[in-house]
């Protein structure tokens, strides 16, 4: 039997929180009855600086439901950082943590299989989406494209896995040693090691509330997912530079031949075109290098990842 902690980040989740809490309570009762988890297992809702009354709801759930704990972050730090805050807060009070979004779009019945796989000796169990019925077409396509792009860039991430996963205490302990500031957990966790396994996850529709992942948040996550783990974009710039050199050499040969044969055509359009082309390539190159320099800038600052304002913990 393990003492389980479920960590669930919440950002403006007024509409879905109470419902999710009761679904998790039912799951806990079931798992306790089956002898899979201890009675002092808990759910930790992490309020990621919501503007609505999410924290008030968590507080009242805490007052009435002994499995509910709460962690209130001082401001909105984003999904990845809220997950980290929750995991680090929970790790010393349990044998393992499952992270799941508080809209419970993931298949929470898979948590039982995660526990079985932990008992069988796995330290990390990834929920892998086998069906994305609940996701919009746009989300499905963008996610698939992103996962492909990421693996072509050599990033070692689990295909079709988001942040629904189980981690044992020692895996969490290992994660706590990562000093980086740009968090992309799906890329970091596979680098920990230990025995890992996967379970099937079916995504259902959000039962209430709207997606809190705005396009800009999604793009930022995707950019972190590549630039934090792969230097391939810089290699692409290098390859482009080499290609440009080849083109320039070809032009040189052409000019030489035209001069020798007397068929020289003085035209400014080709000149302008190449100027613009080279200008664009250089700008793109600088942009990509800038992304890395930007990251270094953030890393050297070593700011705290999050600041906890309050915590409500049943012992």
Where does this chain bind ligand UDP (CB under 6 A)?
9-11, 13, 48, 76, 78-79, 82, 101-103, 105, 211-213
DSSP string, 204-238: ---SSS-----HHHHHHHHHHHHHTT--HHHHHHH
> What is the C-alpha separation between 72 and 46, in angstroms, rounded?
6
In the bound complex, what is the minimum distance in angstroms from residue 168's beta carbon to ligand UDP?
A: 23
Instruction: Report residue 280 as tokens.
Output: 């664009």
Contact (CB, 8 A) for 91 and 97: yes
Q: Tell the residue number behind the tokens 């993931």, with chain if given.
A: 106
| Residue 20 or 105 having the CB closest to Mg ion | 105
Looking at beta carbons only, is 146 or 213 nearer to ligand UDP?
213
In this complex, which beta carbon is closest to ligand UDP, that of residue 91 or of residue 212? 212
- Distance (Å, whole) CA 64 – CA 287: 52
Q: Does 107 bind Mg ion (CB under 5 A)?
A: no
- Interhelix angle 232-261/215-227, rounded to 10 degrees, is 80
C-beta of 105 vs 196, nearer to Mg ion: 105
| Residue whose C-alpha is closest to residue 2's, from 36, 51, 49 | 36
Q: Which stretch binds Mg ion (CB under 5 A): 38-46, 95-103, 136-144, 191-199?
A: 95-103
Least separation in angstroms between residue 8's CB and ligand UDP is: 6
- Minimum CB separation of residue 211 from ligand UDP in Å reads 3
Among residues 105, 196, 227, 228, the one that binds Mg ion under rule CB under 5 A: 105
3-state secondary structure of 181: coil
Gap between the Cα atoms of 174 and 124, Å rounded: 12
Query: One symbol per residue from 225 to 264: x for binding Mg ion (CB under 5 A), - otherwise; what is it?
Result: ----------------------------------------
- Give residues in contact with Mg ion (CB under 5 A): 101, 103, 105
């Amino acid at each position: 039997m393990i003492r389980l902690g479920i960590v669930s980040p919440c950002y403006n989740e007024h509409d879905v929180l109470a419902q999710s809490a009761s679904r998790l309570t039912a799951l806990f009762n079931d798992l306790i009855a089956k002898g899979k988890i201890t009675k002092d297992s808990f759910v930790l809702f992490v309020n990621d600086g919501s503007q609505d009354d999410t924290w008030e709801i968590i507080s009242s759930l805490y007052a009435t439901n002994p499995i509910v704990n709460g962690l209130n972050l001082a401001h909105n730090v984003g999904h990845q950082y809220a997950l980290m805050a929750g995991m680090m807060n929970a790790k010393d009070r349990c044998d393992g943590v499952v992270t799941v979004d508080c809209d419970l779009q993931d298949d929470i019945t898979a948590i039982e299989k995660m526990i079985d796989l932990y008992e069988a000796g796995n330290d990390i169990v990834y929920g892998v989406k086998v069906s994305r019925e609940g996701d919009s077409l746009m989300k499905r396509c963008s996610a698939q494209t992103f996962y492909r792009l990421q693996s072509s860039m050599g990033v070692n991430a689990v295909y079709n896995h988001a942040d629904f996963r189980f981690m044992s205490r020692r895996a969490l302990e290992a994660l706590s040693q990562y000093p980086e500031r740009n968090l992309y957990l799906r890329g970091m966790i596979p680098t920990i090691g230990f025995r890992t396994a996967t379970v099937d996850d079916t995504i259902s529709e959000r039962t209430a509330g709207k997606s809190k992942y705005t396009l800009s948040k999604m793009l930022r996550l995707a950019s972190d997912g590549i630039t934090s783990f792969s230097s391939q974009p810089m290699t692409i710039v290098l390859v482009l530079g080499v290609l440009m050199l080849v083109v320039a050499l070809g032009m040189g040969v052409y000019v030489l031949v035209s001069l020798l044969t007397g068929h020289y055509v003085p035209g400014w359009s080709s000149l302008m075109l190449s100027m613009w082309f080279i200008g664009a390539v250089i700008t793109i190159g600088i942009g990509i290098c800038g992304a890395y320099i930007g990251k270094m800038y953030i890393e050297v600052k070593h700011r705290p990842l999050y600041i906890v304002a309050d915590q409500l913990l049943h012992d």
